[in-house]
Each structure stands twice: as structure tokens, then as C-alpha cells.
Structure 1
Amino acid sequence: MIDSRSPQHGAPPDDEPATSKGAVGKGSMWRYMPLVVVIAGLALGYAFGLQDYLSLGFLAEQRQALRSYVDTNVLWSAVIFLLVYTAAVAFSFPAASVLTIFGGFLFGWMIGGALVAVGATVGAAILFLATRSAFGDFLRHRVDGVIKKMADGFRENAFGYLFVIRLAPVFPFFVVNIAAALFDISLGRFIAATFFGILPGTFAYAYLGQGVDSVLVAALASGRQAQISDLVTRDITLAFFALALVALIPTLVRQIAKRRSSQ
């Protein structure tokens, strides 16, 4: 006679599912942690008043001290700027345009633009991964119809569409980072499209920053704070859109050819 408590029969059947459910629950909780850190970092940034330092007003007041420090500590200043820019993008702090102008003013348009391109891409990738960790399967498993078709089409032409969106910054930078994660784009394509897509705008803003000194002085003389609109003209904005339209042509041609071949 076999003892019913022997190892051959194992634990009661209800034990294993309970353990598995507990493990799944803990895993589900941990996947939200990167996004929680991002939100907490953004909240702390506002709590400590970082928005007052990442502004053209602060640059106007401290421009001589900042430039003097950079001149005597070029390498260390570049590292600090790169880390600050990466953190600002990763935590979705709305200061990308101002920081790009900072970079051009402090390091020149070439070095400043290169630092911004690297920092923006790394920061965007961090936010992308945090969002995908929390909501990576959201669209794939919970939507249908037109949105699903849009997601599938975006995924098939991820580089082309994302590259165009980066060229013409119609949507806020952090919104694109989050949306790309929801549309299940590979990390490699995301990084490549982001880096190359932001280069024209990055170097354009860095070049504006290189000559921002006269704008800041004029604003201070008139008793007001300088604004981004004082630097970014309508012609520059139209040039970005024209560049994006040209970049969109190959993707549209491929889509048309694909539909014709399927018909």
C-alpha cells in the first residue's frame, strides 16, 4: 500500500498555481518600477525648482560665469552637460530646446550639437525602455480595428515614420518616446531613427545658441526675459517641415507599391 503522503503524489494541486500566481504578481509589479522612477525623478525636479535653472533667463543672468567655467574646465563641463541633458530627456523634463541652445552657447554649434545628439538619444532610449517595460504589450493585446492596423503599419515602417517625426518636431519629444514604445518598435530602430532624425534640428538650435548672446543682451536691456521665439523664426520652422516631407517620400512610395502588389 502506497502512502498518500509520499513524494510520488507531490504537493496538493492547489499549491503550485498559488505559487505561480504569486511570482507572476511580483513580476508584474517590478515591470512598472522603471516608469515609477521616471515619474519620481520628474516630480523631484519640479520640487527642487530645476525649471528655474533650465531657462533662457538663467542663461542670460549667468552666461559669463558659465562660459568662464567651461573655458577653464572644458572636458568636465562637457561630461556634466551630457549627463544633465540625458537626465532631462529620460525624466521628460521640458527643457530640450533650451538645453540645446545652452550647448551651442557654451561649446559652439559643432561640439554642443554632438553632445546634445548623444544625450538626447540616450535619454530617449531610457524612457523608451521604461515605458516598454511597463506597457510593452498594451496595443498588441488590447486593441483592434483601425488602431491595430495603424500599429502594425507603424511597426513595419518604424524607422521611416519615426525618422520623419524626429525631423519635424510636431509632437513633444517625450510623447514620441512613449508612443514608440507602445507601438512595439525595436530598440535598435528607435535609437537609429532618433539619432539621425534629430541631427538637423539639433545642430540648427545649437547654431542659434552660438549667437544667442546678442539676443539675451537685447532682452535684458528691454527689461524682459528672452524667449525661444526670439531665436526660432518662421523660416526655420518651415524648413524643418519641408525636410520632413522630403524624408517621408520614400516611405509613402513603398506603401503605395505594397498596396498595388497586394491588389
Structure 2
Amino acid sequence: MGNGTAEQGIRGKAAPQHPLLRRLPLIAVALAALFGAIFLRDTLSFETLAENRENLLAFRDSHYLPSVLGFIAAYVAIVAFSLPGATIATLTGGFLFGAFPGVLYNVAAAGTGAVCIFLAARWGLGARLAARMDAGEGLVKRIKAGIDDNQWSMLFLIRLVPAVPFFVANLVPALVGVPLFRFAVTTFLGIVPGAVVYTSVGAGLGEVFARGETPDLGIIFEPRILLPILGLCALAALPMVLKLVRGRKGL
């Protein structure tokens, strides 16, 4: 009787997964990113969008829902596999669907792709790395503790600051043990300002194409755009500043 119970208990326990199996999604992302950097850099470009604009508009007009679903699926894949062309995809969303609802499609696609790569990184490396950082000593542990104490602010900051690469903002939170819900909320909300700017630029591409020009993607660094975004960054950083001041004053 006792042996039977013991055998059932052993069978009930899930066999430990091989480390390579856990890393397969992250390996797939890395290989796809390498493939994209080598072979797709010239394909997912503004020139390609300009050359195919009439066909894209015609397909949108005759098959609106499939065009929306196809666009979102393609954008999710671009972000999830860190392929080149995320900015072009955002412009395309504005060009095909207007500033609104194009911005909704762009945020939904970019946010979903970010969650996918976050999950791949966390499943493959993040959980173990975060546990090691928690169990570590000295500087590493202090850095991890500092991130944990200010996760909301830090996550919003890396989304709002234009200089932080999008794939970096997707991977780093997974490697330091950020919860999925917190990552998802700050991602979907934090990418809205930049998405609004680039979707609006995309919505005006018809005139740009007519003049034979290329869009000014540096518009986000113009004072009228950058200053409000920096204001949002300051608001995101405010809780960290208050904690620092209170800590020094012993409040």
C-alpha cells in the first residue's frame, strides 16, 4: 500500500524540463533577429512601402477586416522576433488606417509583440537570473533591490525615453523578474505617446509620397514633441526622487 502511494506520488510530479527546452523560444527569437538583420533590412523599408502603397490601399479598401488582422499579425511578428521595420510598421498603420484608429492597431500590435518576447526571455533565462540576483551579495543584490523598489517608475521611464531601444525595454524587465501584469500595463500605456507621433506621421504619408520625399522621423526630437514626453518622464521619475529624498531625510 505504501509503495503504491509512493509510486503515485513520483508519477504525479512533473519531470524537470531540460534547460534547452526552456530556452527554445528565446533561441528562436535570436535566430529570427539575426535572419532579419541580414536578409530583411532592405525589405521592411520606407522604399518598399512607397513602391507597394497603391496595392496596399486597394487591398484595404476591398478587404478591410483581413487587412487589419494581417497588419496586426505582421507587426506582432516584427516586434516578437526583433525584426527590423518596427518604425516602418507604425508608419504603415497610420498610412493605411489613419491617425485613428491606426494608433489603436499600432499600440495593440506593438504591445502584444513586446509581451511575447518578454515571456520568451523570462521563460528561458529571466526566472533563474532573477533568483540568482536575489540570492547574490553586494552590488548585484542592491541593484536588483533598487529595481524592485521602483519598478513602475523604471518601466514607464524606459518606455517614454526615446533613446532606449524597444527590444532593450522588452528584454531587461524579463531578466530582472518583473511581473507580467506590471510589464504589460506599463508597455501598453508607455508606448502610446510615441505611437501617436509616428502614427500621425504615417497618416500624412500620402502627401509625402506625392512630393517624392521621405518622412521626417526625427520629429519626435523636436521641442514641441519632445518636451511633453520629457514632462511625462519627469512624472514617472517623481516617485523615485521622493523615495530618495525621504530616505536621506529619514522620513
With the length of structure 2 as denominator, give the TM-score of the two structures.
0.83
Q: Is the 8 A contact 1:110 1:203 kept in 2?
A: no
Match among 188, 195, 200 for residue 195 of structure 1: 188
Q: Please state if 1:243 is matched with 2:232.
A: yes
Query: Which residue in the other structure is 2:141 paired with?
Result: 148
**Structure number, greater radius of gyration:** 1
Paired residue type of 2:119: L
Q: Report the AA paired with residue 252 of structure 1.
A: V
Residue in structure 1 matched with residue 163 of structure 2 by the alignment: 170
Identify the residue that residue 117 of structure 1 maps to in structure 2.
107
Q: Give the whole-Å Cα distance in 2 for the aligned partners of 1:228 and 1:92.
A: 23
Matches within 5 A, 1:175-190: 175-190=168-183
Contact 1:101 1:208 survives alignment (8 Å): yes
Q: Which runs of 5 or more residues in structure 1 are unaligned?
A: 1-6, 8-15, 17-22, 221-225
Q: Following TM superposition, by how much is the alpha carbon of 1:245 offset from its aligned partner in structure 2, in angstroms?
A: 2.0
Deviation at 1:232, TM superposition (A): 4.5
Deviations, residues 58-96 of structure 1 (Å, cap 9, x unaligned):
111111221121122111110001111111110011322
Specify which of 223, 241, 245 is matched with residue 256 of structure 1.
245
Task: Give per-residue Cα distances to partners, 1:206-226, cap 9 Å, x unaligned.
Answer: 011111222233345xxxxx2
CA contact (8 A) 1:103 1:115 kept: yes
> For 1:93 and 1:59, how far apart are their aligned partners in 2?
16
Report the CA distance shift for 1:158/1:34 in structure 2 as closer, same or farther (over 3 A): same
- What's the counterpart of residue 217 of structure 1? 210
> Does the 8 Å contact 1:168/1:243 carry over to 2?
no
Structure 1 counterpart of 2:222, one-letter code: R
Task: Supply the distance in 1 between the matched residues of 2:18 and 2:218 (Cα, whole angstroms).
Answer: 49
Q: Which amino acid aligns with 1:41?
A: A
- Cα shift readout 1:152-186 (whole Å, capped 9, x = no counterpart): 21122212211121112221111111111111100
Code of the residue aligned with 1:117 in structure 2: it is V
2:222 equivalent in structure 1: 234
- In structure 1, the partner of 2:49 is 59
Matches within 5 A, 1:14-29: 24=16, 26-29=17-20
Question: What is the CA RMSD across the aligned residues, in angstroms?
Answer: 2.6
Structure 2 gaps, min length 5: 4-9
Q: Supply the AA of the counterpart residue of 1:234.
A: E
Report the Cα distance in structure 2 between the residues aligned to 1:190 and 1:259, rounded to whole angstroms. Answer: 29
Number of residue pairs matched? 237
Identity, % of aligned positions? 34
Give the distance between the partners of 2:105 and 2:240, measured in 1 at CA.
29
CA distances 1:110-169 after superposition (whole Å, capped 9, x unpaired) = 211111111111111111111111212224415543333122211222122111211122
2:220 and 2:78 map into 1 onto residues whose CA distance is 21
Residue number in structure 2 paired with 1:19: none
Distance 1:96 1:259, change over 3 A: farther
